[in-house]
Chains A and B, each alone.
Chain A
Amino acid sequence: MSLTVGDEVPARRVTVDASAMKVMAVLMRDPNPIHWDVDVLRALGLDERPVNQGPSNLAYVWDALTAWTGSVAAVLSVEVRFVSNALAGEVLAAGAQVTAVDDGVVTCEMWLRHEGGEPVLEGMATVDPAAFVRGRRDQ
């Protein structure tokens, strides 16, 4: 797989779904009510739209990387900063771009953004190009 600086990972658009947050809260054993209880959000004086779990925001970008590489094993590491909340109903764009190719490791800048372009999270990922599985996504 030949990769060069500037290559773009195909972007993914995701609509944040309140019912999906409830599923993830159960799977994660996450009791924080800001993800599923509108009454609590109201009492806290917050926006009444539930707040998406941070790991789910990261998962959207990781999914974009996995779709690009064709293999979950190709992503070696991710390092992210959680910048802002994503709320139920919002449309987000996940993407990444190659910033370095060194010693068989590809480094990508990665991001998840609100529709207006403001970041939800931003960071870096390293990918093993030898682990790419070409064409899997077309199957």
Chain B
Amino acid sequence: MTAEVDWHARLVGTELPPGTLRVEPYEDRLARDALGGDRAEGDLLHPSWILNGALRGAGHDVAGLIELFGASWDDGVLFGEARIEQVEPLRASVDYAITGTVLDVERRNGRRVRCFDVVTYEMRVERDDRVFARVRNRIVIPRQVAE
């Protein structure tokens, strides 16, 4: 258990590998068609690009992110909650920087899943030292425990 506590403590504050995001107008149009959304307002991107873009533009793919938390898709990882703050809408054909930080790791016990970690991390969409959007995700990672 001590090793797990140490691992949790080490993970908190970890900076996620930085990346970049650039969404072209045709990609936004395809996303809107897929989602059944309305036509774009000028070059403003569909707001789903905040959450999707933070994942796509991160310095690793989703599988890599989960691996950082010591898990894989096969472990039944779930996206539990998301908080998205839109400071300013994102625009097409603009380069944004994606940065992220692990904020919290909490070990919990449940009825359906006996033991799991809730990992909270924040990703930021930035340009020229300005934050355009923040995404705070909480993911649930089931853990195997010895009987």
- Report which A residues bind B (CB closer than 8 A): 14, 17, 20-21, 23-24, 27-32, 54-56, 58-60, 62-63, 66-67, 71-73, 75-82, 137
Contact = CB atoms under 8 A, between A and B. Distances in A.
Contacts of A58: 48, 51, 82
A73 B38 contact: no
10 contacts: A20-B35, A27-B56, A28-B55, A29-B56, A30-B62, A55-B55, A59-B47, A67-B38, A76-B86, A77-B84
Interface stretch (B3-11, B73-81, B95-103, B116-124): B73-81
A55 B30 CA distance: 15
A42 B112 CA distance: 22
Contacts, number: 100
B47 A82 contact: no
A31 B63 contact: yes
A28 B83 contact: no
Interface of B: 27, 30-31, 33-38, 41, 44, 46-48, 51-52, 55-56, 61-63, 73, 78-86, 88-89
Given A71-B41, A72-B47, A31 B36 contact: no
B81 A81 contact: yes
B61 A76 contact: no
B98 to A, nearest CB: 12
Given A54-B79, A77-B86, A81-B80, A32 B62 contact: yes
Contact of A14 (B36, B52, B82): B36
Nearest to B58: A29
B35 A59 contact: yes
Contacts of B34: 17, 20-21, 23-24, 27, 56
A17 B55 CA distance: 22
Given A72-B41, A80-B82, A66 B35 contact: no
Nearest to B51: A55
Contacts of A14: 36
Contact of A72 (B44, B56, B78): B44
A62 B47 contact: yes
Contact of B89 (A23, A29, A60, A72): A72
B64 to A, nearest CB: 10
B55 A66 contact: no
Contacts of B78: 82
Given A29-B56, A71-B41, A81-B80, A63 B36 contact: yes
B79 A23 contact: no
